[in-house]
Amino acid sequence: MNGQPVARDNYLKKLIAFRDSDVIKVVTGMRRCGKSTLLDMMRSHLAKDGVPTECLLSFRMESFELEGIRDWRELYRHVVERMPSSGKCYLFFDELQEVSSWEKAINALRVDKDCDIYITGSNAFLLSSEIATLISGRYVEIRMHPLSFSEYLDFLGPTEVTSRYAVFGREEITPLDELLDRYLQFGGLPYLAISGLPEREMKDYIWSTYQTIVGRDILAREARRGRRAVTSRDLLDRVCAYLADNISNPTSINKIVGSLNESGTKTSHGAIDTCVSALEETYIFSHALRFDIKGREVLKTGGKYYIEDLGLRAYLDGYRGSDSGRALENAVYNRLVIDGYRVFTGHMRNAEIDFIAIGDGADRKFIQVTDTIDEEATRNRELRPFELKSLEKVAAGYEKILVVRHGDHPTDIDGIRIVSAVDFLLGRF
């Protein structure tokens, strides 16, 4: 373990690209995914580039120093008082949703002062919807995620990575498959990757992350204009556990309502919809919509939910280690999203495809994910959607990939690329 934060260059480069432009940089993502550290790294980059320290101002809205600031006017006055009399200032605001009507203060600073503004926040509704209404066209949102598996290895700090092993120093050699097992269980929160904590403490950290998101970002929030607030902690926990247990399974609000009612938890469509919306807005889950392959259109109903960090899934699952295949599918989904693809679940009349990934230009992929293809029946089941005549008519230009977790296998079967899970998640394919 290297014990030090590692620059997440893909995000840092995005911030640098928008430096000194007339847009507010809004970094969003779930709690503890590295947003604050990213702002610190951007601040360090500016300092190395010669920006004076007095022109680099950070405001952590959850710190004791700023505890009393809950109104946008107070925030505006506090910032202006700290700004030097001359020179361009770079303003960094961390977890700004803690301040009521914060967007008014940011807009006023943008208009009144010579400044470049950077913001983080852990709630999609506050940082996307409200700021979009007030400052249309004046912001760029940079969505940050927990570590991908390749970033996870960077944080662990091996001195060399071979096709099958990670080498730490001169003596420690760890199979990549073993590190992937650990990643699928404990997820990609950056602190866990560099801390070297024992397993018990890692579980405690994941538990505290979940409690913070639920307690601070969901239950403690005020009812938003025209939207219901979550009022039942028990119902929210049950919905969260249901979604975690059903990652990669087709899911709908009606299905959740029916399942909870059958288990004795009487609820309604509106209450469940409110809980699911809150879990999406705080980035715990995301919804992969269904895509009708033959009709080439996004369907209005159905789809699947995937969890942002698999460490949270293991916690919600009670660390039972149930269905590692679905955890792998979730990891593949997360990797595709991080790589910038729009990701859908593929629907046909007589088959489903795990993912349709749509990238830039002509970059299109059909992807299946499985634990193994050692048995003929399993191999045929996973390859069958790729081989349907109805798919051939609409698949021109689409790359076909089968991601496999275990076993030895060929790299190609009738034009279908067979890629190991380790290689796919490391981008080595």
- Tell me the DSSP string of 315-362: HHTTT----HHHHHHHHHHHHHHHTT-EEEEEEETTEEEEEEEE-STT
Domain ranges of the chain: 9-143, 325-425
Least confident of 45-54, 55-64, 175-184: 55-64
Q: What is the pLDDT of residue 126?
A: 60
- Asked if 234 contacts 227 with a C-beta cutoff of 8 angstroms, the reply is no
* pLDDT, average across residues 127-144: 75
Among 299, 297, 295, 291, residue whose Cα is nearest residue 394: 295
Q: Is the pLDDT of residue 152 over 90?
A: yes
Position 61 confidence tier, pLDDT thresholds 50, 70, 90: confident
pLDDT tens column, 345-384: 988 877 889 999 999 998 999 999 999 999 999 999 999 8
At 308, the amino acid letter reads E
Rounded to whole angstroms, how far apart are CA atoms 13 and 212? 29
How far is residue 26's CA from residue 107's CA, in Å, rounded to a whole number? 13
Question: CB under 8 Å to 234, separation ≥6 — which residues?
Answer: none
Buried (b) or exposed (e) across 397-409, using 16+ Cβ within 10 A?
A: ebebbbbbbbeeb
Reported as a single tens digit per residue, the pLDDT across 290-318 is 988 877 788 878 899 999 999 999 999 88
What pLDDT sits at residue 129? 58
* Percentage of the chain exceeding pLDDT 90: 68
The tokens for 338 are 């991080």
Cα separation, 197 vs 204, in Å, equals: 10
Beta bridge partners, 117, equal 91
User: Token pair for residue 74?
Assistant: 């107070």
Global pTM reads 0.93
Residues 6+ apart with CB under 8 A from 121: 26, 27, 28, 35, 95, 96, 97, 127
Q: Which residue in 5, 27, 30, 28 sits closest to 311, CA to CA?
A: 30
- Could you tell me how many residues make up the chain? 429
SS3 for 12?
A: helix
Share of the chain above pLDDT 70, in %: 93
* Residue 342, H or E segment: strand 342-348
pLDDT at 1 over 90: no
Give the closest residue to 401 by CA, choosing from 380, 387, 386, 389.
386
- Position 125 scores a pLDDT of 64
Please report which confidence band the pLDDT of residue 96 belongs to, taking 50, 70 and 90 as the band edges.
Answer: confident
pLDDT band at residue 335 using 50, 70 and 90 as cut-offs: very high
- Tell me which residue of 25, 54, 28, 193 sits closest to 117, measured CA to CA: 25
Read off the pLDDT of each residue in 180-194 and give the average, rounded to a whole number: 96
pLDDT in the model for residue 226: 52
User: pLDDT value at position 219?
Assistant: 87
- Has residue 225 got a pLDDT over 60? no
Residue 394 pLDDT more than 80?
A: no
8 A C-beta contact, residue 119 and residue 25: yes
What class has domain 325-425? alpha beta
Residue 169 pLDDT class (50, 70, 90 cuts): confident
User: In the prediction, which pLDDT does 348 show?
Assistant: 80
Number of neighbours of residue 320 by Cβ within 10 angstroms: 8
- Classify domain 9-143 by CATH number: 3.40.50.300
**To the nearest whole number, what is the mean pLDDT of the chain?**
90
CA-nearest of 124, 78, 107 to 221 is 124
Q: Which residue has the higher pLDDT, 22 or 388?
A: 22
Q: Shortest CA distance to 122 belongs to which of 26, 203, 195?
A: 26
| Comparison of pLDDT for 174 and 138, the residue scoring more | 174
Tell me if 291 sits within 8 A of 347, measured CB to CB. Answer: yes
Task: Give the contacts of 215 (CB within 8 A, at least 6 positions apart).
Answer: none
Cβ-proximal residues to 39 (8 Å cutoff; 6+ apart), any chain: 27, 58, 92, 94, 118, 120
Amino acid at 105: A
Cα-based distances in Å from 366 to 19, 247, 338, 420: 36, 19, 17, 16
Kindly tell me if the per-residue pLDDT of 143 is higher than 90.
Answer: yes
Q: What was the pLDDT predicted at 14?
A: 96
- Is residue 280 within 8 A of residue 287, CB to CB? The reply is yes
* Calpha distance 110→114 (Å, rounded): 7
